[in-house]
Structure 1
Amino acid sequence: MNEQKTISEIIELWKADKKLYIKKSSYSAYVLLLENHILPVFGSSMSVTEKDAQSFVFQKLEQGLSHKTVKDILIVLKMVLKFGAKHKWFDYQPLEIHFPTEREKLVIEVLSRTNQKKIMNHVKEHFTFRNLGVYICLSAGMRIGEICALTWEDINTETGIIHVRKTIQRIYNIENGIRKTELILDTPKTKHSIREIPMSRDLLRMIKPDKKIVNNSFFVLTNDAKPTEPRTYRSYYKKLMDELGMPSLKFHGLRHSFATRCIESNCDYKTVSVLLGHSNISTTLNLYVHPNMEQKKKTIEQMFKGLR
């Protein structure tokens, strides 16, 4: 056993090690979880017991954090503890943490078909590059960081393909206790997010005239060398939705709406998963594949047909 260190000291060494081989955005996310949640509770401790960790989990849930957020915090805590044990700065016993059963169902917010048509028709009639971004997201299921990072060279009107290969996000940096933000243009987090999405005929028809005259290196949403960032575009989208009298729907709801329309059109689930850039088809199934009442009735009728 080497000389014991506090969790705070181990975290500093772990950060220096981790920074060498993970993406800047991932490192930023880890540091935020450490600064906001782990260090205030465990920073001065020499070890973390299972009882301590379980109490910490219940405390965070009571504060209103989601199960997913608390699990993400726990993942980082375990990485730090394993790092400390590997260098023999303290003994580490694997933590077996229990979460209370989630009572509330995850509700996916989507646009109705009527509202989706209304938005898409509005974009056709009132074309701007920023409006085009909303249309693309409804037609291709892109994330907000991906649409903000999209340049004209990513759109091939000859093949009718959109190439998704980068994303924009604002990350937090904490250095010497000082927080600052930085806008970064980077590759998507996973290799599955780098993908090719075919354009619909309507989208292709809308884009083709502009594609002939634009600068290929310009960003689509601004048609300029400088991009717009997700926070700014989210505000623009909210204003547009308010003007159209649409129900309150987060920007990510456009992606949910695209996926839902795909499922409703009886697309095979694997294809939908690939179009969305999910790492695993189970993510797609868990989020979007839920039988509606008509499907349930049909199943019951078919069952009793066999009994008659």
Structure 2
Amino acid sequence: MIAKTKLSEIVTLWKEDKRQYVKRSTFSAYTLLIENHILPSFGNKTLIEEQNVQSFVFQELDKGLSHKTIKDILIVLKMILRFGVKNKLIEYRQIDIKFPTERDKHSIDILSRSHHRQIMEYIQSHFTFKNLGIYICLSAGMRIGEICALTWEDLDIENGIIHVQKTIQRIYIIEDNRKHTEIILDTPKTKNSIREIPMTRDLLKMIRPLKKVVNDRFYVLTNEATPTEPRTYRNYYKQFMQTLGLPAMKFHGLRHSFATRCIESKCDYKTVSVLLGHSNISTTLNLYVHPNLEQKKRCMEQMSKLLR
């Protein structure tokens, strides 16, 4: 006999079980989606069918949520439902959701080569530890949490390597009906994100004299024992771009710019993927490999030569 249990009750049991197996940051992300989307729409239901979920998708799209965010919500919802079915708390229902075709192409923020060069030259003549973080990101393509977590001991000048092995992030926590956020130092996003990135000659030239006088345990961005958090550093970066009179661009655009320069330099895609810490090469290809018209013309000419 399958019980008719409210989804909100299943969520409570699922969370108790799930927190044993995932990182705190992952659990926090799940909790945020549950609180903001799943419980308000499905919390009181004892049976969830495909039509309910399909209606939810259209409703969230109308609110302006992206396809990716909605798909993330559905991943969590399906995990909860599978848990409920397995424990005989809810009836099984096949759910196959369709999304409208996305007509608009999502562009990514990328610095032009001249702006890329302008920033790096400015930092070389206007050194601060916070500016150094921007320089490192443009030279190594690191994520903002990885930059904030970087300590001097992670910069190996003997071998010219940056060791990326931790990240800082603010996570959302609910404990005994009390909601708050907390900053945590954790391992990077995925196992592929733990990586070694060779320093460029210019970056190594900048780091080498600093390593003689800094405390290895201090954080690079603050040169103190305590780090700065991503939100604070984003605000600094925004002011930095305004100071240079450059167009507003998300901090993540620095990482995109690094990757784009690598591709433009004819680096092989697998190497770029490993440098970025992507979990698979298809992520790199989908984001950065978009042939321009000249490349397409060259391809067509090569193909037609083969047939002559």
Structure 1 residue 180 and structure 2 residue 180: aligned?
yes
Residue 32 of structure 1: how far off its partner (Å): 0.6
Residue 2 of structure 1: how far off its partner (Å): 4.6
CA distance in 2, matches of 1:159, 1:116: 26
CA distance in 1, matches of 2:134, 2:90: 52
CA distance in 1, matches of 2:66, 2:177: 26
Do the aligned residues in 1 keep the contact of 2:161 with 2:196 (CA within 8 Å)? yes
Do the aligned residues in 1 keep the contact of 2:48 with 2:93 (CA within 8 Å)? no
Residue 93 of structure 1: how far off its partner (Å): 1.9
What is the CA deviation profile of residues 195-228 of structure 1, one whole-angstrom value per residue up to 9, with x for unaligned ones?
0000000000000000111100000000000000
CA distance in 2, matches of 1:72, 1:94: 18
- For structure 1, list consecutive stretches of 5 or more residues without a partner in the other structure: none
Alignment-derived partner of residue 284 in structure 2: 284
Alignment-derived partner of residue 15 in structure 1: 15
SS in 2 for 1:60: helix
Alignment-derived partner of residue 231 in structure 1: 231
Alignment-derived partner of residue 241 in structure 1: 241
Do the aligned residues in 1 keep the contact of 2:130 with 2:222 (CA within 8 Å)? yes
CA distance in 2, matches of 1:158, 1:142: 21
CA distance in 1, matches of 2:228, 2:52: 44
What is the CA deviation profile of residues 154-201 of structure 1, one whole-angstrom value per residue up to 9, with x for unaligned ones?
010000000000000001112233320100000012100000000000
CA distance in 1, matches of 2:293, 2:215: 49
CA distance in 1, matches of 2:86, 2:306: 61
- For structure 2, list consecutive stretches of 5 or more residues without a partner in the other structure: none
Alignment-derived partner of residue 162 in structure 2: 162
Structure 1 residue 85 and structure 2 residue 85: aligned?
yes
TM-score (norm: length of structure 1)? 0.98
Do the aligned residues in 1 keep the contact of 2:139 with 2:200 (CA within 8 Å)? yes
SS in 1 for 2:225: coil
Residue 298 of structure 1: how far off its partner (Å): 1.4
Q: Residues 1-308 of structure 1: matches in 2 within 5 Å?
A: 1-307=1-307
CA RMSD, aligned part only?
A: 1.0
Query: Which runs of 4 or more aligned residues in structure 1 lie more than 4 Å from their structure 2 counterparts after TM superposition?
Result: none
Do the aligned residues in 1 keep the contact of 2:4 with 2:47 (CA within 8 Å)? no
Q: Which amino acid in the other structure matches residue 112 of structure 2?
A: S
SS in 2 for 1:22: coil
CA distance in 1, matches of 2:135, 2:306: 46
Quote the sequence identity (%).
Answer: 68
CA distance in 2, matches of 1:68, 1:280: 18
CA distance in 1, matches of 2:252, 2:29: 20
Residue 3 of structure 1: how far off its partner (Å): 3.4
What is the CA deviation profile of residues 89-117 of structure 1, one whole-angstrom value per residue up to 9, with x for unaligned ones?
12112311101101111211100010000
CA distance in 2, matches of 1:307, 1:278: 38
State which drifts further: 174-183 or 116-125. Answer: 174-183
Residue 258 of structure 1: how far off its partner (Å): 0.3
Aligned residues: 308
